[in-house]
Amino acid sequence: MTEQNNRAGILLMVATTFVFAMQDGISRHLAGEYNVLMVVMIRYWFFAAFVIAIAVRNSGGIRAAAATSQPVVQAIRGALLALEICVMVAGFVLLGLVESHAVFACYPLLIAALSGPVLGESVGWRRWTAIAIGFVGILIILEPGARVFSPAALIPLLAASMFAMYGLLTRYVARKDTTATSFFWTGTVGCMVMTAIGIWFWEPMTTPDWAWMAALCVTGATGHWMLIRVYELAEASAVQPFAYFQLVFASILGLVVFGEALERNVVIGAAIVVSAGVFTLWRARLKAA
């Protein structure tokens, strides 16, 4: 990868995080009006159609896209992502975009912490120190003991844990499967899981909200397509730290559109978590080099 490709990939990653932040805002609106499971189910219908359309256009078609020697792991990671999205969207409704994303920002630290037992990778003392500091930041955000602690505050932490495990399983299957195969299984398995669950929670939607649902589906597909292009253009280690811009964009959306408050402890905690996460990613890149 050239420096020019990395620069283009970084700019596209920032644009991708903006699209995903818009998706989060729309999800927060719709899930505040309708059942979370139904909203995520409809989103996955469009996502599955999108990945199947891409598979059909590629060489070998659907048969080639679905070909894998590890279908169980692929199915688990696809189901895990779908359920993680449900948990995170529930967090948006209960806690808001600002606090949910501030806590969720710890997922790279969880990936680093779990990469040893799950993937057999070594994690040095510097990264373990960054992980510990990052979780101090999480405690600052959650403030257990400073007020009556709400169990809802743990929802984005659960989502981050699920997403970290999804990320580790994605790295595991990447040892044998292509990106196209993993993408296909992500969309199709997630669609089947959400349909099996969400169809029981169907509610009639108003016409304006169907327009918002269409926007949710389009931003979801667009964001995933842009993310694929990011990793085609640039090294993952170069662009990954810029994924934190989603926290910035989502927080601005929460403050301006949804009238959320920006608490001092959330700002301080999020700054610690993001700094620790960026250091962890930087150390991983150095080790890979």
Q: pLDDT digit string (tens) for 76-129?
A: 999 999 999 999 999 999 989 999 999 898 888 888 888 777 777 677 778 788
- Mean pLDDT, to the nearest integer, of 125-142? 83
Residue 166: is it exposed, middle or buried by C-beta count within 10 angstroms (0-12/13-18/19+)? buried
Q: What is the pLDDT of residues 58-71, one digit of tens each?
A: 888 899 999 999 99
Neighbours of 73 (CB within 10 A): 17
Q: Which residues of 101-114 are buried (b: 16+ CB within 10 A; e: fewer)?
A: bbbbbbbbbbbbbb
Mean pLDDT of the chain: 87
Of 1-10, 32-41, 207-216, 260-269, which range is least confident?
1-10
pLDDT for residue 237: 67
pLDDT at 141 over 90: no
| Domain ranges, residue 201 | 3-288
pLDDT at position 108: 84
Alpha-carbon gap, residue 216 to 252, rounded angstroms: 18
pLDDT of residue 255: 92
Per-residue pLDDT, averaged over 180-185, amounts to 91
Mean pLDDT value across residues 9-13 = 86
- pTM for this entry: 0.89
- The band of 200, judged by pLDDT with boundaries at 50, 70 and 90, is very high
Mean pLDDT along residues 141-160: 75
**Number of compact structural domains in the chain:** 1
Confidence check: pLDDT of 149 > 70? no
109 vs 193 pLDDT, higher one: 193
Q: What would the mean pLDDT of 187-208 be, rounded to a whole number?
A: 96
Q: Is the pLDDT assigned to residue 4 strictly greater than 70?
A: no
| Helix/strand/coil for 30 | helix
Q: Name the pLDDT band for 134 (thresholds 50, 70, 90).
A: confident
